[in-house]
Amino acid sequence: TDFDSKKKRKVAEIYQALNSDPIDVATLRRMAISEGGLLTDEIRCKVWPKLLSVNTDDLPPPPGKELREDNKDYQQVLLDVRRSLRRFPPGMPDDQREVLQEELIDIILHVLKRNPQLHYYQGYHDIVVTFLLVVGDRLATALVEKLSTHHLRDFMDPTMDNTKHILNYLMPIIDQVNPEVHDFMQSAEVGTIFALSWLITWFGHVLSDFRHVVRLYDFFLACHPLMPIYFAAVIVLYREQEVLDCECDMASVHHLLSQIPQDLPYETLISRAGDLFVQFPPSELAREAAQQQAERTAASTFKDFELASVQQRPDTVLRQRFRERLRGEERTKSILTKPRTNRFVKLAVMGLTVALGAAALAVVKSALEWAPKFELQIFP
């Protein structure tokens, strides 16, 4: 079938990128973002480390008994992991699950012990268990440690200030695309706390189908640390009619939005989130979103992280495909350059980019082009 042939071509392209010298990370990012993501856990075991610049030849040693002794987080981690039964595949034998739960505890404690500046939060284990189930305990330990000191760093501060700051990007994104939904939510005074568990678990806690969780992880690992908040925004925008039909009060709107549908069109929403990131990058939204010090957020350290490895430019994929699809369409370009004052013009452009969808993901040039153009001036 056409689907099978597309899948075979994609697998071949992924392995070709992995076998290149140097490894073609730009192509791996494109594969992770484009329709279907990385397809299998076997491929994820090979690609996820490349997306995070983790050396698989230098993995942490197996944990010793001393890891759990005198660890201030042990009791809380233990409680959370024991409550995490639904994060394991249904039908998994109890003894197998119990082994995985012990490994999950050790991974978390290892990362925290080696990085005392990081603080455990409830929900962290939802991210860690996803890596454990896909790549096994030792590789998961290395991946989670890198992730925790970069993408997840803001969630692991002593306070929730930076997490709240990231949530503050949600409403400006919605405002750019659909002012009516934005104004309705503002009138309802619903805030953004409904999206907290989405953000801090990368949706792992709220989606029941593991396939959808790992598909999102492919996407997030290939992109900027703020991409999960763009994905949260497209979920709200996708539910526009439900939101507007709701009673305009905090309790009703919060209840509606906190119950995330399980049958979302994930590929469409991933494509929309990528389009929104290109149209309304964090730097454009920052004044509305932030009062934080730039050096204290993961987004501000992301460039340093990327420069540590050649061709690790995650958002080139999004920017290149967006630019390529609009090349030659002068009318569209002129609309894109109009100032933000006419929000309904932006809305029309959003319609166009959604129509481009996943097909537009096919084009990526040199990942290195991205570096000087994204100076990460995310804050005023």
Buried b (16+ CB within 10 A) or exposed e, 83-106: ebeebbeeeeeeeeeeebbebbbb
- The larger pLDDT score, comparing residue 110 to residue 1, is at 110
Residue 260 within a domain: yes
Predicted local confidence at residue 62, as pLDDT: 82
Predicted local confidence at residue 246, as pLDDT: 95
Same domain, 179 and 204: yes
The residue among 155, 186, 209 that closes a domain is 155
Largest Cα span, the chain: 65
Residue 346 within a domain: no
Same domain, 244 and 109: no
- Helix residue ranges, H only, 115-209: 124-135, 137-148, 161-167, 170-177, 179-188, 196-200
Q: How far is CA 100 from CA 40, 136, 143, in A?
A: 20, 9, 17
Same domain, 105 and 179: no
Same domain, 16 and 41: yes
Same domain, 110 and 253: no
- The larger pLDDT score, comparing residue 378 to residue 347, is at 347
- Number of structural domains in the chain: 2
Residue 182 has pLDDT above 50, yes or no: yes
Predicted local confidence at residue 240, as pLDDT: 96
Residue 43 within a domain: yes
Residue 363 within a domain: no
Same domain, 164 and 287: yes
CATH number for the domain harbouring residue 57: 1.10.8.1310
Residue 364 within a domain: no
Same domain, 227 and 272: yes
CA 145/CA 107 separation, integer angstroms: 9
Overall average pLDDT of the 130-144 stretch: 96
| Poorest-pLDDT segment among 91-100, 106-115, 139-148, 366-375 | 366-375
User: At a CB cut-off of 8 Å and minimum separation 6, what does 159 contact?
Assistant: none
Same domain, 236 and 133: no
Overall average pLDDT of the 276-296 stretch: 72
Residue 348 has pLDDT above 60, yes or no: no
Tokens of 348: 């029309």
CA 123/CA 201 separation, integer angstroms: 6
Predicted local confidence at residue 291, as pLDDT: 40
Same domain, 53 and 197: no
Overall average pLDDT of the 115-124 stretch: 94
pTM of this structure: 0.79
- The larger pLDDT score, comparing residue 303 to residue 370, is at 303
The one-character DSSP state at 60 is P
Mean pLDDT (the chain, rounded) = 81
Residue 367 within a domain: no
For 227-271, write each residue's pLDDT tens digit: 999 999 999 999 999 999 999 999 999 999 999 998 999 999 999
CATH number for the domain harbouring residue 225: 1.10.472.80
The residue among 135, 155, 175 that closes a domain is 155
Tokens of 158: 């002593």
pLDDT more than 70, % of the chain: 76
Same domain, 79 and 118: yes
Residue 258 within a domain: yes
| Poorest-pLDDT segment among 124-138, 202-216, 320-334 | 320-334
Same domain, 30 and 150: yes
Predicted local confidence at residue 239, as pLDDT: 97
Same domain, 245 and 283: yes
The residue among 287, 311, 335 that closes a domain is 311
Amino acid at 96: Q
Q: Provide the residue range defining the domain that includes 21.
A: 2-155
CA 202/CA 217 separation, integer angstroms: 7
Residue 355 within a domain: no
